[in-house]
């Protein structure tokens, strides 16, 4: 019982670290475009992190994480070792300002400890493979969606622009199985964008200053949506780990019996972590990849939010770091390919690729040490 309590505490500490490690993902563009001050931005992001609790009720991502390792290979020492490795890697990458994935750190640690305990056959390869594939697919989705939004936004003919938005939203609601809350959120967001475009089009006379202010206001909306998607995806990962620990500890029979305090604690921990900020990573995400204007900030954050909502519905634990990076690259490439600092992007890609294997090796070593005491 004592070990179970320690694991739950460490899991919430990881969630807290995840919050300040990934705070930069939510606030980098809105800070770099000077729409909000850093302090205002973290308050804004933290508030909408907690709002995510009332939107995501299916826990698809939590279910995927909990089933990454076969049930008969999940023990409390395995979970403990994976968490310790994930915390260490998260702190190291935060210290050096590397926007790595907290999600993949946790998955790598969990899988590595399980392999050390019961061998390679203890992990669910299909789920691991799907997660690995989205290291590349998630940023590509963000990139394509961000480029699409940027291109639509700069179309001069207002009626063509509005028609594209309406058709895209209709097709998304019709063919993507979002829940009702997300569908209404998408419709309302599209309506706000359309209204803003109409007001800007018919203002007399139109001015660059007023247009810039419009995009700054819209960035508040897009940043809020991304913060909701961020916490909706990331909080569930630790929910899955805590639920697996409760099952292994004999407290609950399965994930469906997860007590309500688990999601409440996880969402709150990420929100508190976001309040602590992640200033070392803000510079990399907000300025080093490409210069971001308010218009481009809206495009990147909206694209990131859409990607996170879609992957959550599919139950795929993607990285918010990878998603927003791909989105920022997308808006940069829309201007011209040379606007993106590809050297920085390649370095980030190496960090992403190495995260799961490094975390797995660290967790295996920690498991062998822990096995001497448990």
pLDDT digits (tens, 9 = 90+) for 258-285: 898 999 999 999 888 887 765 554 444 4
Q: Quick one: average pLDDT of 213-219? A: 79
Lowest average pLDDT, out of 47-56, 83-92, 300-309, 312-321, goes to 312-321
> How many folded domains does the chain comprise?
1
Where helices occur in the chain by DSSP H, the ranges are: 2-32, 38-51, 60-66, 76-95, 102-118, 125-153, 158-175, 180-202, 208-248, 261-275, 279-283, 294-314, 320-335, 342-370
Q: 194 or 349: whose pLDDT is higher?
A: 194
Q: Please tell me the distance from the alpha carbon of residue 230 to that of residue 55, in angstroms, as a whole number.
A: 12
* Banded model confidence at residue 345, pLDDT cuts 50, 70, 90: low
Is 80 exceeded by the pLDDT of residue 25? no
pLDDT at 321: 76
**Residue 5 corresponds to which tokens in the numbers above?**
């309590």
Q: What is the pLDDT of residue 101?
A: 76
Report whether 313 contacts 176 (CB < 8 A). Answer: yes
Alpha-carbon distance 123 to 45, whole Å? Answer: 34
Please give the model's pTM, rounded to 2 decimal places. Answer: 0.82
Model confidence at 244: pLDDT above 80: yes
Residue of higher predicted confidence among 265 and 61: 265
Axis-axis angle for helices 342-370, 125-153 (nearest 10): 150
Whether 297 and 35 have beta carbons less than 8 Å apart is answered as: yes
Which tokens in the block code for residue 314? 């599919």
Is 50 exceeded by the pLDDT of residue 302?
yes
Its domain, for residue 25, covers 2-370
Give the whole-angstrom CA distance, residue 279 versus residue 258.
34
């Amino acid at each position: 019982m004592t070990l179970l309590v320690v694991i739950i505490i460490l899991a919430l500490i990881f969630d807290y670290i995840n919050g300040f490690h990934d705070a930069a993902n939510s606030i980098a563009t809105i800070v770099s475009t000077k729409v909000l001050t850093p302090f205002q931005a973290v308050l804004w992001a933290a508030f909408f992190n907690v709002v995510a609790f009332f939107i995501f009720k299916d826990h698809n991502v939590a279910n995927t994480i909990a089933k990454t390792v076969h049930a008969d290979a999940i023990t409390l020492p395995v979970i403990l070792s994976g968490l310790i490795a994930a915390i260490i890697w998260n702190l190291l990458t935060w210290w050096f300002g590397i926007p790595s994935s907290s999600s993949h750190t946790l998955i790598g640690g969990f899988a590595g400890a399980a392999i050390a305990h019961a061998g390679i056959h203890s992990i669910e390869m299909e789920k691991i493979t799907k997660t690995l594939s989205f290291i590349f697919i998630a940023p590509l989705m963000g990139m394509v969606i961000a480029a699409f939004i940027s291109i639509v936004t700069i179309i001069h003919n207002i009626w063509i622009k509005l028609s594209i938005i309406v058709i895209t939203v209709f097709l998304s609601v019709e063919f993507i199985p979002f829940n009702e809350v997300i569908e209404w959120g998408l419709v309302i967001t599209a309506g706000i964008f359309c209204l803003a475009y109409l007001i800007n089009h018919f203002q007399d006379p139109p001015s660059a200053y007023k247009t810039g202010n419009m995009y700054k206001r819209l960035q508040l909306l897009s940043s809020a949506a991304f913060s909701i998607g961020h916490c909706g995806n990331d909080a569930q990962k630790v929910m899955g780990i805590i639920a697996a620990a409760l099952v292994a500890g004999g407290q609950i029979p399965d994930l469906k019996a997860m007590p309500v305090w688990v999601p409440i604690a996880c969402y709150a921990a990420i929100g508190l972590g976001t309040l602590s900020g992640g200033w070392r990573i803000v510079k990399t995400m907000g300025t080093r990849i490409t210069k971001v204007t308010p218009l481009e900030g809206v495009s990147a954050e909206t694209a990131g939010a859409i990607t996170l909502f879609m992957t959550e519905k599919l139950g795929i634990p993607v990285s918010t770091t990878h998603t927003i990076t791909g989105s920022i690259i997308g808006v940069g490439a829309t201007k011209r390919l040379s606007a993106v600092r590809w050297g920085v992007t390649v370095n980030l890609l190496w960090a992403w690729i190495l995260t799961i294997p490094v975390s797995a090796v660290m967790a295996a070593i920690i498991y062998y040490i822990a096995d001497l005491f448990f």
